Amino acid sequence: MTPAAEAHRVAEARAAAERWMAAEPDADMRDELVALLGGSPDELVERFTGRLQFGTAGLRAAVGAGPQRMNRLVVQQAAAGLVDYLLVHVPHAAEKGVIIGYDARRKSDSFALDTARVCAARGVKAMLFEFVVPTPVLAWNITATGAAAGVMVTASHNPPADNGYKVYLHTGSQIVPPADTLISSHIDSIDPCTVALAPADHPLIQRLGRAEVEAYLADVPSVRRCPEVTGVPVAYTAMHGVGGATLMEAFDAAGLPAPAVVAEQQEPNGSFPTVSFPNPEEPGAMDLLMARAAASGALLAIANDPDADRLGVAIPTPDGGWRRLGGDEIGWLLADHILRHPLPGEGSNRLVVTTLVSSSLLGRMAAAHGATCLETFTGFKWIGHTVLEHPELHFVFGYEQALGYLVAQRPLDKDGITAAVLMAEVAAVAAAEGLTLQDRLDAIAAEFGRHVMAEKSVRMPPADGAAAVARLRANPPTHVGAHEVTAVQWFDEAGLLRLSLGDDVRLQVRPSGTEPKVKLYGEGIGADPASLLDDLAALLA
C-alpha cells in the first residue's frame, strides 16, 4: 500500500471513530475511543474497518469501542436488523414479539435493555427478563410465550473479556442459513449511530420474572426416566455463571438432593475471578469442583458453563482421584440411559441426533435399541434443525462432543441444567445396581467396542486453513501413517473431510469457523488415533 493510500485509510478510520464517539452512549467506551484516536493508527484502522460479522452464532467478541467489538451501538444495530428481518419474514412478528434474556457479563444488562428499546421503537413487543437467567430458560420460554424470536446476551464459555448476542428462531432453535445471512443483510442497511430507541418504560416493553423461570422448572421433572430412584451425593459448580440458583431449584423440582456446591463459584460474577477460561472443557477449569467432590464424598461432579447450556462431568477413579469425562463419554452415558429406559409412548420411532465430529458410537447404540440415529453438521443449531426436519420421528436425545446435550423435547437447543438432572439420575441408577459410572462406561465398551476419541488443532490463518483442507480434499491421501485410507467423504456445508482407515478408525479435518486453526478429530475402536492425527496434521503443510 502506498503512503498516500495508507494515509487515506487512517483518515477514514479517524473520521468514522469521531462520528462513532459522538453517538457513543457509554463514558467508558468514549474514553477508549479517545485513547484509540491518540494511539496506534493500525489499531484504529482495525477497529473501524468493516463491522463485527453476524453469523449462525450471532455476534461474539471482546467488549470494546467501535464496530469490530461488542458495545451498545453494535448491539443496537444488530437488534434493528433483526427486528426488520422479523417484520418482513415472520407473520405477526410485531404482536408475537421478541423475548430477551441476559447473563452477568460486562454490559449484558445494557445490551438486553437496548434490544428491548429498539424493538419497541420499531413497533415490536419486547419481553425482557428483569434479572439474569440461564440460556436454557430463555430458549425454553420462546415457544412458551409464542415469541417470533429470542435473543440471549451471552458469550457462553468465552474468556471474561468477551460478550455476545445469540439469536433464536420461534422454534427455540438457534438460527441456521439462510436466516443468518438475511438478518445480516438487514443489519448492513442500518447506521449504528442513528438507531432509534424507545424509552425504557415504553408500554411495548414487558418485564418477565419468576413466572417464566417457574414454568421452565415445572417441566424439569419430565426428563427423569427412573424417578423412583433416590439420588446420590453430587458436587456442582456454576463456574461464576448464571445457572447456579436455577440448577439447585431444578434438582429440588426433580426430587433429587441438593448438590454440594463450589461456594467460590456459585454466584454470578462476570469477571470470573477463579478461572481464567470459564469453560469446563479447559484443563484446570474443574479443579475446584473435583476438590469439592472429593471432600464431600460425592459420586458425581457436574459443572455448567457460565450460561448453563453446557454440562461438564467428572467421576471418581479407583485410586481415590477424579477424572474429567470427555464430551462423547458423557453423551454415551446419557444415551445408554435414555435408550434403556424408554418413557411411556416412546416406541420404535425414537430419534437420536449427533454431529459429524462426535463419536459414531451413538449410531451403534441406537441400532441396538431399534432407534434411528441421524448425523448432522457441527454446531448444536443443526441438531435442533434436524429434529424439526423429522416430525415423523420422536426425538429423545441429541448431543455434540463440545459438552452440548439435549435430553428433553424443548428447547431445541443444548440445556446443561436438564442434562445435569438426568446425569444425576444415571449415577443414582448405577449406584442402585451396585455399579459406578466407570462400570457403566466399561459395559458400553464391552458391548460395542472401546471407542477412543482424540482431537488436535493446527494453528494457521483462516484463509490458509481453508486452503489446506481444500488441497487435501482435491488430492486425498492413500495412506495416513502406515494405514490405508479405504473411504473418503466430503461434507460441503460443514467444510469437513472424513477419511476412513478400515472399519475401526475414522479421521476428520475441517477449518475452524471462529478461530485461526484447523481442527482434526480421530476415533478408533480399540486403538488410540492420536498418533494418526499427528500424521494427518503433517499432510496439511
Q: Is the confidence at residue 494, as pLDDT, over 80?
A: yes
**Same CATH fold assignment for domains 51-208 and 222-449:** yes
Residue whose C-alpha cell reads 467421576 in the numeric block: 315
Looking at every residue in the chain, the average pLDDT score rounds to: 96
Residues taking part in catalysis: 156
Q: Is the confidence at residue 416, as pLDDT, over 90?
A: yes
Q: Average of pLDDT values for 94-105?
A: 98
Q: Do 130 and 295 contact (CB within 8 A), yes or no?
A: no
DSSP string across 91-158: TTHHHH-EEEEE-SSTTHHHHHHHHHHHHHHTT--EEEESS---HHHHHHHHHHHT-SEEEEE--TTS
Residue 194, judged by CB atoms within 10 A of its CB (0-12, 13-18, 19+), counts as exposed
Q: φ, ψ for residue 424 (rounded to 5)?
A: -65, -35
- What pLDDT does residue 473 have? 96
Q: Is the confidence at residue 54, as pLDDT, over 90?
A: no
Q: Is the confidence at residue 505, as pLDDT, over 80?
A: yes
Highest mean pLDDT among 45-54, 244-253, 513-522: 244-253
The DSSP bridge partners found for residue 352 are 373, 397
Distance from C-alpha of 411 to C-alpha of 115, rounded to nearest angstrom: 22
Q: Average of pLDDT values for 109-131?
A: 98
Q: Which amino acid is at 225?
A: R
Q: Is the confidence at residue 356, as pLDDT, over 90?
A: yes
- What pLDDT does residue 515 have? 75
Give 514's pLDDT tier (boundaries 50, 70, 90): low
Look at residues 223, 182, 168, 181 and name the one whose alpha carbon lies nearest to residue 385: 168
- What pLDDT does residue 439 have? 97
Q: Is the domain covering 51-208 a CATH 3.40.50.300 domain? A: no
Q: Which CATH class is domain 451-538?
A: alpha beta
Give 412's pLDDT tier (boundaries 50, 70, 90): very high
Architecture of domain 222-449 in this structure: 3-Layer(aba) Sandwich (3.40)
List pLDDT tens digits, range 297-351.
999 999 999 999 999 999 999 999 999 999 999 999 999 999 999 999 898 999 9
- What pLDDT does residue 383 have? 97
- What pLDDT does residue 3 have? 87
Indicate the domain borders of the chain: 1-49, 51-208, 222-449, 451-538
